[in-house]
Amino acid sequence: MPHPIAIIGGNIAGLSAAYHLARKGCPVTVYEHKIWDKPCGGAITVEYAHYLKSEIGIDIHVSDHCIPRIRFYFSRNHYVETKGLFVTISRQHLQQQIISRLEKEPNINIVFKHMTLKDCRLFSAQTVLASGFSGFTRQIIEKEWDNREYAQALKYAGYNKKAPQHPAHVMAFDSSLKGYGWFFCGSNNYFNIGIGGLIKKEIINDKYKEFVRSINDRFSYDICPESSPDAWKIPISLNNWNTPISFYKNGTEFIGTGDAIGLAHPVIAAGIEPAWQSGWLLGESYDRVSHSLDITRYRHLLKKNLQLTSRKPFDIILSRILRLKWIPFKDQQAYILMKLFHKKIIHQIKRYPWFAMVHDGKKETGFTIDT
């Protein structure tokens, strides 16, 4: 019987790694501090929701949470409305559901414990680093921490006092924010509102207040946040396959997944599905003979899969354009492009959602999407 692989972090990336490694016959021990509601939009594609139900047995209740429309909102009150692509979930509820499911697996041991470097006796020779944006991650990746690009994010979740007449998700793009604002609505008047962008912390609070006002004024919502929004940072790397994914610390090799290696989508910072994808690819890199993780294979799979999903050439080019300062009228140009090509963009997202579907761009996994 091989020794268990330790996984530091029991959110999406860590739980995905645990699930897929256990399926390969590798015992794992997951260390997680607590179940909590991460500050994010909590949006996942409908296809991924169906995948979780068919593959893991977790029912997201798509029919209850799916809003049929998305409004892509730009400057000068321009917007493009499309059919719904995703459902919204509570990150805390999703984490709890996956943990409850994996606790039934014989090869998975989940331990609730706050881990530090002093707990080195609990590390395995190869330890999975799934601790996201945290002090623990910073201690492991050291200098690489300063090479990462981080998006500031603010989020508030609550309930409308009255139901909107024509509910629709809103994604508002603002070049001065170098990011976007979101308003996601769900059942029972639930809403999740926030903004994220590559800007300074001092600016984003004013942008958040401005965004709440604009959503109320433009779309006749009645959003009244009763407390300050939750704050978070999201690490983003454009070409993850060219950045370190393996780190040595005190004789232990730490192998990164999810936010620990900056896998959030470079344009909209979607992180749930890329995190699950990285855990799946890590499982695909497990060698049953040597009972170890093949880092070369893991890097290869990351590159091939990310280039098909969240790091398509289109995403990389768009991300670089959004980061440029000197291009005038970016918001108007973005509106025109979305108006012209939104059907093609939606089709591509349906064909290749932001999670793993193929091994190396050629060999199919056997999982198909019902669109």
Q: Rounded to whole angstroms, how far apart are CA atoms 170 and 161?
A: 19
Spatial separation of the C-alpha atoms in residues 81 and 263, rounded to whole Å: 28
Closest Cα to residue 157, out of 87, 230, 218?
230
Smallest Cα–Cα separation from 304: which of 249, 225, 240? 240
More confident residue, 345 or 23: 23
Burial of 173 (0-12, 13-18, 19+ CB in 10 A): buried
Instruction: Give the residue among 128, 173, 187, 123 at the shortest CA–CA distance from 333.
Output: 173
Q: Of 89-103, 117-131, 226-240, which has the strongest mean pLDDT? A: 117-131
Contacts of 219 (CB under 8 A, 6+ apart): 71, 164, 168, 170
- What is d(CA 213, CA 313) in angstroms, rounded to the nearest whole number? 35
Task: Specify the pLDDT at position 355.
Answer: 62
Q: Please tell me whether residue 54 adopts helix, strand or coil conformation.
A: helix
CB 131 within 8 A of CB 48: no
For 168-215, the pLDDT digits (tens) are 899 998 888 888 999 998 777 888 999 999 888 889 999 999 999 998
**Percentage with pLDDT > 90 across the chain:** 48
What is the rounded distance in angstroms from the CA atom of residue 34 to the CA atom of residue 11?
Answer: 9
Q: Which residue has the tokens 């006002």?
A: 213
For residue 357, give every residue at least 6 positions away whose Cβ sits within 8 Å of its Cβ, in sequence order, or none: 305, 308, 309, 364, 365, 367, 369
| pLDDT higher than threshold 50 for residue 370 | no
Q: At what angle do helices 272-284 and 295-308 cross, to 10 degrees?
A: 140
Q: How would you class 253 by CB atoms within 10 Å of its CB: exposed for 0-12, middle for 13-18, buried for 19 or more? A: middle
The single residue listed with the structure tokens 């890097």 is 299
Question: What residue ranges define each of the domains in the chain, with the CATH number in brackets?
Answer: 5-351 (3.50.50.60)
Q: What is the pLDDT of residue 165?
A: 73
From residue 326, give the alpha-carbon distance in Å to each of 24, 72, 175, 176: 50, 23, 11, 12
CA distances (Å), origin 176, targets 204, 328, 357? 11, 11, 35
Q: How far apart are CA 13 and CA 19, in angstroms?
A: 10
Rounded to the nearest 10°, the torsion over CA 267, 271, 273, 278 is 110
The arithmetic mean of pLDDT across residues 235-250, rounded, is 90
Average pLDDT, the chain: 86
How confident is the model over 93-113, as a mean pLDDT? 96
Q: What are the tens digits of pLDDT across the range 300-319?
A: 888 888 887 888 888 888 88
Write down the pTM of the prediction: 0.91
